[in-house]
């Protein structure tokens, strides 16, 4: 692999305005490339994963399926009664007044993994954004739990809607395992993968290496945010709550790149991986509109290309010209943390910064340039 071209792609993104970039490429057995540039960035810099957390939660959910603790097609309320209380939104006033009705069917664990539950995110839906503003006007002692206790936008199973499904899956996993989600991950993912700096908690050692999250202002300038995560969160948010490093994230991607093995033990059965990487029939992935511009621009992954949803990743159903092969898995995190798993080519990669809003042009262009350099180095 031509590391000079990879270094140049990473450094160019920083030169174009990204506050920092940490990028890495791994094969089935070990990381083959790792480079950091920008604001104090180092290979072991701790970053907020945001929705890249979902890969961990999906892995833990499938472990529960293997252990017979979760049946994907029974009502999720059989494991977690509170999810059965969610109603379908029928009307929402500008003042946040809500009208709902009971759903025509129950949410299942499969729907949570596939994002067909009807749960959404406020940044991608105007109605949810209104509800979020109302919550901010009436703060409570449990803001994270409040943020996921929201009405469904449609009946469960009706269509793909990206949202808080994996946060609920995290609660479900904790319930059936009888322990905190952090402890489940520590035992069943961090340890067998050899991860040293991944947690929902921010220890003093991790905080010393924690990257600042930056925000692009309306005038185009980029400034640091003043948000500091707590040492221990109110709730382990399985859809968005982890802090980690690029090497640790690459260690999880190797589980999915191969046959489910981590560096220090099996994480998933090979048959589970082979099944889970297939796209679910009939699940159409649609563009993500922007309802809160400070958090996200409109996000359309691979416009015009065929794509589906696997358990629980976006799946490329076509080759990307000059890039990943059909069948590759991918997703991202809000602060522009991107990864992909190309099982056909035998590589997985991470390109990460800490910049809002999501799909900022410097990140969108930076990860594309990095991917092109990766495959150019492979002789593609």
- The residues assigned a catalytic role are 51, 54, 162
DSSP state of 186: I
Helix (H, G, I), strand (E, B) or coil at 92: strand
Q: Token pair for residue 3?
A: 């590391």
Q: Residue 335, class by beta-carbon neighbours within 10 Å (0-12 exposed, 13-18 middle, 19+ buried)? A: buried
Q: Token pair for residue 60?
A: 């833990």
Q: Estimate the crossing angle of helix 54-66 against helix 246-257, to 10 degrees.
A: 40
Q: How far is the C-alpha of 316 from the C-alpha of 319, rounded, in Å? A: 7
Q: Cβ(210)–Cβ(354) under 8 Å?
A: no
Q: How far is the C-alpha of 170 from the C-alpha of 120, rounded, in Å? A: 16
Residues 119-144: b if buried by 16+ CB within 10 A, e if exposed: bbbbbbbebbbbbbeebeeeeeeeee
Q: What is the dihedral of CA 235, 41, 27, 167, to 10 degrees?
A: 10
Q: Token pair for residue 92?
A: 């929402």
What is the residue whose two structure tokens read 């703060």?
Answer: 139
Q: How far is the C-alpha of 75 from the C-alpha of 84, rounded, in Å? A: 8
């Amino acid at each position: 692999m031509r590391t000079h071209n990879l270094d140049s792609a990473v450094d160019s993104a920083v030169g174009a305005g990204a506050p920092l970039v940490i990028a890495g490429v791994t094969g089935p057995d070990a990381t083959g490339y790792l480079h950091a540039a920008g604001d104090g960035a180092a290979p072991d810099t701790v970053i907020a994963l945001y929705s890249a957390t979902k890969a961990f939660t999906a892995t833990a959910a499938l472990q529960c399926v293997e252990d017979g603790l979760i049946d994907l097609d029974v009502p999720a309320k059989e494991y977690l009664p509170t999810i059965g209380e969610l109603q379908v939104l029928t009307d929402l006033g500008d003042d946040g007044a809500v009208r709902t009705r009971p759903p025509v069917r129950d949410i299942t664990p499969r729907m949570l993994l596939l994002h067909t539950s009807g749960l959404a995110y406020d940044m991608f839906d105007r109605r949810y954004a209104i509800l979020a503003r109302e919550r901010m006007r009436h703060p409570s002692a449990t803001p994270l739990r409040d943020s996921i206790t929201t009405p469904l936008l449609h009946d469960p199973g009706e269509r793909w809607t990206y949202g808080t499904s994996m946060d609920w899956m995290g609660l479900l996993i904790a319930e059936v395992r009888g322990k905190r989600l952090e402890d489940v991950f520590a035992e069943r993912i961090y340890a067998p993968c050899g991860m040293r700096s991944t947690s929902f908690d921010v220890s003093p050692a991790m905080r010393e290496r924690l990257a600042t999250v930056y925000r692009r202002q309306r005038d185009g300038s980029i400034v640091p945010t003043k948000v500091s995560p707590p040492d221990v969160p109110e709730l382990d948010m399985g859809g968005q709550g982890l802090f980690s490093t690029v090497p640790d994230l690459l260690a999880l991607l190797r589980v999915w790149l191969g046959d489910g093995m981590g560096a220090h033990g099996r994480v998933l059965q090979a048959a589970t991986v082979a099944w889970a990487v297939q796209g679910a029939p009939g699940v159409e992935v649609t563009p993500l509109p922007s309802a809160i511009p400070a958090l996200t621009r409109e996000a359309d992954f691979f416009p015009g290309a065929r794509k589906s949803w696997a358990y629980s990743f976006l799946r490329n159903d076509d080759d990307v010209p000059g890039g990943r092969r059909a069948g590759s898995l991918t997703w991202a995190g809000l602060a522009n943390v991107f990864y992909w798993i190309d099982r056909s080519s035998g590589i997985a990669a991470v390109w990460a910064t800490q910049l809002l809003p999501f799909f900022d042009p410097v990140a969108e262009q930076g990860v594309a340039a990095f991917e092109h350099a990766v495959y150019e180095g492979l002789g593609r």
